[in-house]
Amino acid sequence: MPNGDIHLTSKVVSLLGIQEGDAIQVAKDKDETYIYIHARQVKDKNITGIARRANKSAGYLRVRWESLCRKIISSDGRSSSAAYRVGDPHEIDGRKVLPIITRKNYAAEGD
Protein backbone atom coordinates (compact mmCIF):
# COMPACT_ATOMS: atom_id res chain seq x y z
CA MET A 1 0.00 0.00 0.00
CA PRO A 2 2.83 2.55 0.50
CA ASN A 3 3.34 2.48 -3.27
CA GLY A 4 -0.29 3.41 -3.94
CA ASP A 5 -1.68 -0.08 -4.53
CA ILE A 6 -4.91 -1.14 -2.84
CA HIS A 7 -5.34 -4.91 -2.90
CA LEU A 8 -8.95 -6.06 -3.01
CA THR A 9 -9.18 -9.61 -1.71
CA SER A 10 -11.38 -12.18 -3.39
CA LYS A 11 -13.79 -11.80 -0.43
CA VAL A 12 -14.21 -8.06 -1.05
CA VAL A 13 -14.48 -8.62 -4.81
CA SER A 14 -17.19 -11.26 -4.43
CA LEU A 15 -19.18 -9.47 -1.70
CA LEU A 16 -19.45 -6.29 -3.75
CA GLY A 17 -19.47 -7.98 -7.16
CA ILE A 18 -16.51 -5.92 -8.35
CA GLN A 19 -15.29 -6.67 -11.86
CA GLU A 20 -12.18 -5.55 -13.67
CA GLY A 21 -12.82 -2.02 -14.95
CA ASP A 22 -15.20 -1.02 -12.13
CA ALA A 23 -14.30 2.07 -10.09
CA ILE A 24 -14.44 1.90 -6.31
CA GLN A 25 -14.89 4.71 -3.84
CA VAL A 26 -14.20 5.00 -0.12
CA ALA A 27 -16.44 7.17 2.05
CA LYS A 28 -16.89 8.06 5.71
CA ASP A 29 -20.27 8.29 7.40
CA LYS A 30 -20.03 9.32 11.05
CA ASP A 31 -17.50 6.86 12.55
CA GLU A 32 -17.73 4.24 9.78
CA THR A 33 -15.59 3.96 6.66
CA TYR A 34 -17.09 2.17 3.66
CA ILE A 35 -15.98 0.87 0.29
CA TYR A 36 -18.45 0.66 -2.58
CA ILE A 37 -18.64 0.52 -6.37
CA HIS A 38 -18.76 4.05 -7.71
CA ALA A 39 -19.13 3.20 -11.42
CA ARG A 40 -19.24 0.06 -13.53
CA GLN A 41 -16.93 -0.63 -16.48
CA VAL A 42 -15.25 2.76 -16.54
CA LYS A 43 -13.72 3.66 -19.92
CA ASP A 44 -12.30 7.07 -18.90
CA LYS A 45 -8.68 6.45 -17.85
CA ASN A 46 -8.62 9.71 -15.81
CA ILE A 47 -11.00 8.28 -13.19
CA THR A 48 -9.32 7.16 -9.96
CA GLY A 49 -10.07 3.89 -8.23
CA ILE A 50 -10.40 1.60 -11.25
CA ALA A 51 -9.96 -2.08 -10.39
CA ARG A 52 -7.49 -4.05 -12.48
CA ARG A 53 -6.66 -7.74 -12.45
CA ALA A 54 -3.56 -8.38 -10.34
CA ASN A 55 -2.67 -11.50 -12.33
CA LYS A 56 -4.47 -13.91 -14.63
CA SER A 57 -5.28 -16.64 -12.13
CA ALA A 58 -6.02 -14.76 -8.90
CA GLY A 59 -9.48 -13.90 -7.64
CA TYR A 60 -8.40 -10.54 -6.31
CA LEU A 61 -8.07 -7.15 -7.96
CA ARG A 62 -5.76 -4.19 -7.48
CA VAL A 63 -6.51 -0.47 -7.50
CA ARG A 64 -3.78 2.15 -8.00
CA TRP A 65 -4.69 5.20 -5.92
CA GLU A 66 -1.71 6.94 -4.33
CA SER A 67 -3.52 9.89 -2.72
CA LEU A 68 -6.03 7.64 -0.95
CA CYS A 69 -3.26 5.32 0.26
CA ARG A 70 -1.29 8.25 1.70
CA LYS A 71 -4.41 9.54 3.44
CA ILE A 72 -5.23 6.15 4.98
CA ILE A 73 -1.67 5.55 6.17
CA SER A 74 -1.29 9.04 7.65
CA SER A 75 -4.66 8.91 9.42
CA ASP A 76 -3.81 5.50 10.90
CA GLY A 77 -0.35 6.51 12.12
CA ARG A 78 0.58 3.00 13.34
CA SER A 79 2.60 1.80 10.37
CA SER A 80 3.99 2.68 6.97
CA SER A 81 1.32 0.47 5.40
CA ALA A 82 -2.22 -0.59 6.21
CA ALA A 83 -4.30 -3.77 6.03
CA TYR A 84 -7.87 -3.92 7.29
CA ARG A 85 -10.68 -6.42 7.45
CA VAL A 86 -14.22 -5.73 6.32
CA GLY A 87 -17.60 -6.22 7.92
CA ASP A 88 -20.85 -7.51 6.49
CA PRO A 89 -22.25 -5.76 3.42
CA HIS A 90 -25.41 -3.68 3.67
CA GLU A 91 -27.17 -0.92 1.75
CA ILE A 92 -26.98 2.83 2.24
CA ASP A 93 -29.12 4.99 -0.06
CA GLY A 94 -29.69 2.01 -2.37
CA ARG A 95 -25.96 1.33 -2.76
CA LYS A 96 -24.29 -1.86 -1.52
CA VAL A 97 -21.45 -0.89 0.84
CA LEU A 98 -18.86 -2.82 2.78
CA PRO A 99 -17.68 -1.39 6.12
CA ILE A 100 -13.90 -1.25 6.58
CA ILE A 101 -12.91 -2.16 10.14
CA THR A 102 -10.19 0.39 10.88
CA ARG A 103 -9.71 -0.06 14.63
CA LYS A 104 -6.99 -2.69 14.00
CA ASN A 105 -4.28 -2.30 11.38
CA TYR A 106 -3.07 -5.82 10.59
CA ALA A 107 -0.06 -4.44 8.67
CA ALA A 108 1.19 -2.80 11.90
CA GLU A 109 1.43 -6.21 13.59
CA GLY A 110 4.30 -7.19 11.27
CA ASP A 111 6.38 -4.11 12.19
Mean pLDDT of 64-93: 85
Mean pLDDT of 85-93: 92
CA dihedral 97→46→58→79, nearest 10 degrees, is -70
Q: Are 82 and 107 in contact (CB under 8 A)?
A: yes
Report if pTM > 0.85.
Answer: no
Which residues are registered as beta bridge partners of 25? 36
Query: Predicted confidence band at 110 (pLDDT cuts at 50, 70, 90)?
Result: low
Q: What pLDDT sits at residue 81?
A: 81
Mean pLDDT of 20-42: 91
